[in-house]
Amino acid sequence: MPVLNRASEMQEEVAGWRRHLHQNPELLYDVFQTSAFVAEKLKSFGCDVVETGIGRTGVVGIIKGNKGEGPVVGFRADMDALPIEEASGVAWASKTHGKMHACGHDGHTSMLLGAAKHLAETRNFRGSIAVIFQPAEEGGGGALAMIKDGLMEKFGISQVYGMHNHPGMAVGQFATRKGSVMAAADQFDIQIYGRSGHAAQPHKSIDPVLAAAQVVVALQSIAARETDPLKSVVVTVTKIHGGDAYNVIPDGVKLSGTVRTLLPELRDTTETRIREIASGISMAMGARAEVNYHRGYPVTFNHADETEFALDIMRKVAGEKAVSDEFPPAMGAEDFSYMLEARPGAFVFVGNGDTANLHNSAYDFNDEAIPYGISYWVTLAETALAA
């Protein structure tokens, strides 16, 4: 079963929706226009249920099949944009200063809307499909907010699937993998306290800058000397703040950064070692360190059976040669991970072609990918819930 004819016929219409959303980006939970647009479309398609305000501004539509009773399977798309000034030069560029769809959520939303329209027209399945439109993927944890609002229980969702575009992968190609497919993302702040003094008399002070410099270097030993080379961890210091004058040793220095891991046990070990390294080095130099470690999105972990099923669907849509089941794990993070903790499912990637990378000011979603995304969702629904 290749790309569906109906999906190809819908491409121009769905691209129009996508470009409208691209011109009107909204951030985090403030996706009021976007969620209203989504809800209006779902109602016009004849969805059996359209509920708004889940996870503050999330939208869920329920489409019941006409083949009898059955389970509820959830499909998720994210709606929010990024705080980036657009430089794509496309005719449908953002109309809002400092905001743009630089990660393709406009495309994700539009493809799922296209699938919802098709499924509401045909209803060639049993049970129900829940189309989930989520706010605040870009750092706000919108998936978790929807889950806390009872998303899974309220609609009886038994499995959940997500999809993301991938620049650099040809249009018409799909990829995923079983197990860890995207990393956990944590943040840390290390405040090092010393004793200020004259820069010409360092022996009369406790220099937090020197201590901070050694902490930065030592943190790299976590990946380089303490972690199995076949496992993945990234510890990156991204900010160093301390001092205001050339001739004054400051009282303190603050280091901030991020940690990316693919295994829960490595996540735990890395947090412990950051605390120990910061405290130990600071103490050895007469200074003192306080570590504030914040856990962000967990590992995006694809369940084995559901991933194999998703791969079969991708092969039906794109052909065997256009599907990879050995997609390298990405060290970026994705809050669909929360949904995969709540229910079994899989997160997959669809090719966006030779475009600018995600989170780049020149990025734009490739509308040629739309028929593939719609076909994936529709085929997944009709196969998972076959009569």
Q: pLDDT tens across 323-354, in order?
A: 999 999 999 999 999 999 999 999 999 999 99
Q: Tokens 């605040």 appear where?
A: 136
Q: Residue 313's closest CA among 252, 364, 374?
A: 374
Number of folded domains that form the chain: 2
Q: Are 28 and 159 found together in one domain?
A: yes
Q: Are 46 and 151 found together in one domain?
A: yes
Q: Calculate mean pLDDT across residues 82-110.
A: 98
pLDDT for position 32: 98
Please give the C-alpha separations between residue 89 and each of 99, 103, 369, in angstroms, as whole numbers: 14, 16, 20
Q: Are 153 and 192 found together in one domain?
A: no
Q: What digits encode the pLDDT tens for the residues 122-149?
A: 999 999 999 999 999 999 999 999 999 9
Contact 334, 136 (CB under 8 A): no
Q: Are 176 and 80 found together in one domain?
A: yes
Q: What digits encode the pLDDT tens for the residues 77-86?
A: 999 999 999 9
Q: Calculate mean pLDDT across residues 271-297.
A: 98
Contact 134, 78 (CB under 8 A): yes
- Domain span including residue 190: 184-295
pLDDT for position 223: 96
Which band of pLDDT confidence, cut at 50, 70 and 90, is reported for residue 60? very high
Q: Calculate mean pLDDT across residues 41-51.
A: 98
Last residue of a domain, one of 261, 295, 329: 295
What does the alpha-carbon distance between residue 107 and residue 172 come to, in Å, rounded to a whole number? 15
Last residue of a domain, one of 262, 295, 328: 295
Which band of pLDDT confidence, cut at 50, 70 and 90, is reported for residue 387? confident
Q: Calculate mean pLDDT across residues 169-179.
A: 97
Q: Are 18 and 98 found together in one domain?
A: yes
pLDDT for position 272: 98
Contact 282, 289 (CB under 8 A): yes
Lowest mean pLDDT among 279-283, 327-331, 379-383: 327-331
* Residue-wise DSSP of 158-180: EEEEEEEEETTSPTT-EE--SEE
Q: Calculate mean pLDDT across residues 89-101.
A: 98
Q: Across the chain, where does the E strand assignment appear?
A: 49-54, 58-64, 72-78, 128-134, 157-166, 174-175, 179-182, 184-193, 197-198, 233-241, 248-249, 252-261, 288-295, 300-302, 323-324, 345-351
Q: Calculate mean pLDDT across residues 41-53.
A: 98
Structure-token pair, residue 317? 């849509």
Q: Are 115 and 166 found together in one domain?
A: yes
Last residue of a domain, one of 295, 319, 340: 295
CATH number for the domain including 90?
Answer: 3.40.630.10
pLDDT for position 193: 98
Q: Are 232 and 327 found together in one domain?
A: no
Structure-token pair, residue 309? 């099923």
Q: Are 51 and 114 found together in one domain?
A: yes
Contact 259, 188 (CB under 8 A): yes
pLDDT for position 2: 81
Q: Are 352 and 224 found together in one domain?
A: no
Q: Calculate mean pLDDT across residues 238-256.
A: 97
Please give the C-alpha separations between residue 129 and each of 33, 42, 113, 117, in angstroms, as whole numbers: 24, 13, 12, 12
Q: Calculate mean pLDDT across residues 101-120.
A: 98
What does the alpha-carbon distance between residue 85 and residue 327 come to, in Å, rounded to a whole number? 31
pTM exceeding the 0.75 threshold for the entire prediction? yes
Grouping H, G, I as helix, E, B as strand and the rest as coil, residue 129 is: strand
Q: Are 206 and 290 found together in one domain?
A: yes
Q: In what order do the strands lie in the sheet with 128-134?
A: 49-54, 58-64, 128-134, 72-78, 157-166, 345-351, 174-175, 323-324
Which band of pLDDT confidence, cut at 50, 70 and 90, is reported for residue 1? low
Grouping H, G, I as helix, E, B as strand and the rest as coil, residue 107 is: helix
pLDDT exceeds 60 at position 313: yes
pLDDT exceeds 60 at position 315: yes
pLDDT for position 278: 98
CATH number for the domain including 206?
Answer: 3.30.70.360
Q: Are 81 and 162 found together in one domain?
A: yes
Q: Residue 19's closest CA among 88, 83, 90?
A: 90
Q: Are 177 and 57 found together in one domain?
A: yes
